[in-house]
Amino acid sequence: MSQLRFTKGSLYIRRFKEGDQADSIFDAVRMAADQLLNKRNGKNHFYVAVRRGFPGQVLATGRSKRDIQRRFIGRPWSETQKFFRTAK
Which ranges of 1-88 does DSSP label H, i.e. alpha helix? Answer: 2-7, 25-41, 65-71, 77-83
Q: Which domain holds residue 8?
A: 2-71
Residue 77 lies in a domain: no
The number of CA neighbours under 13 Å toward the Cβ of 75 is: 9
Residue 78 lies in a domain: no
pLDDT in tens, 72-86: 877 787 888 777 776
- Helix or strand holding residue 59 (H, E): strand 57-62
Residue 57 lies in a domain: yes
The structure's pTM equals 0.77
Q: Does the structure show a pLDDT above 70 at 48?
A: yes
